Amino acid sequence: MKSHVWRPLWVLLGVIALALVARHFVVPSDFGVGERGFMYGFHRKSNEDDWKAFKVKYLTKEYCKECHEDKYESNMASKHNLIECENCHGPAIDHPDNPAKLVIDKSRALCIRCHAKLPYPTSHRGEIKGINPDEHNPGEECSMCHDPHKPDME
């Protein structure tokens, strides 16, 4: 037993022991094998709650209805009824507390996302009424002539 040959072995065992003790304190106690087994489910359980607690920002039309009923009603009765208010006005988050007002984007870029004519067979894009932005009243805001909430032209 006194042989110098054994010494590295004791050192090694000591290192392993230290690592395991350290691991015991560093690794969170809820770390373990989840529902999807060792290969896919090895994780810190409370991280699932971290993700669940993430802030919701987009609240959909039903939320706007409460306070902007006029806009909601006219929008729902139009050909634009399928577009969410927040697509054009940005996420509500805690509006009207924070932010007090939502963005009003009057840029042509907003409308031509759908209305720039693209002649694409087999895609619904080809069926939406399109304009050529370079020719259809260039330089003017679309909302000067069209109501963005109710653009119907009869």
Partner 1 sequence: MTNMKLTRRDFIMTAVKGAAVAALPLSAFKILSPSEAKAAIKEANVRWGFLVDTHKCVGCGFCVKACKNENEVPYDVPVTRTWVERYVVLKDGKTLIDTPHGGREGFTEQKVQEKDVDPKNIAKAFFVPKLCNQCENPPCVQVCPVGATYQTGNGVVLVDRTWCIGCGYCIMACPYGARFFHPIHKVAEKCTFCYHRITKGMKTACVDACPFGARKIGNLKDPNDPVTKIVMTERIGILKDAFGTKPQVFYLGLDDNVR
Residues forming the site for ligand HEC (CB under 6 A): 59, 61, 63-64, 66-68, 71-72, 75, 79-80, 83, 85-89, 92, 95-96, 101-102, 104, 106, 108, 110-115, 128-129, 131, 133, 136-137, 140, 142-146, 148-149, 151-153
The only residue of 120, 129, 140, 145 in contact with partner 1, by rule CB under 8 A: 120
Nearest to 32 by CA among 41, 20, 21, 22: 41
The only residue of 5, 70, 122, 153 in contact with partner 1, by rule CB under 8 A: 122
Sign of the dihedral defined by the CA atoms of residues 66, 71, 77, 78, in that order:
negative
Nearest to 135 by CA among 117, 148, 149, 118: 117
Q: Which of 63-71, 107-115, 135-143, 145-153 is the region at the interface with partner 1 (rule: CB under 8 A)?
A: 107-115
Q: CA of 127: how far to CAs of 34, 123, 147, in Å?
A: 48, 8, 21
Helix (H, G, I), strand (E, B) or coil at 91: coil
Nearest to 81 by CA among 153, 126, 148: 148
User: Which CB atom, from 49 or from 135, has the smaller least distance to ligand HEC?
Assistant: 135
The site for partner 1 (CB under 8 A) is made up of 1-2, 10, 13, 17, 20-21, 23-24, 31-44, 47-48, 50-58, 60, 82-84, 86-87, 90-91, 109, 112-114, 116-126, 128, 133
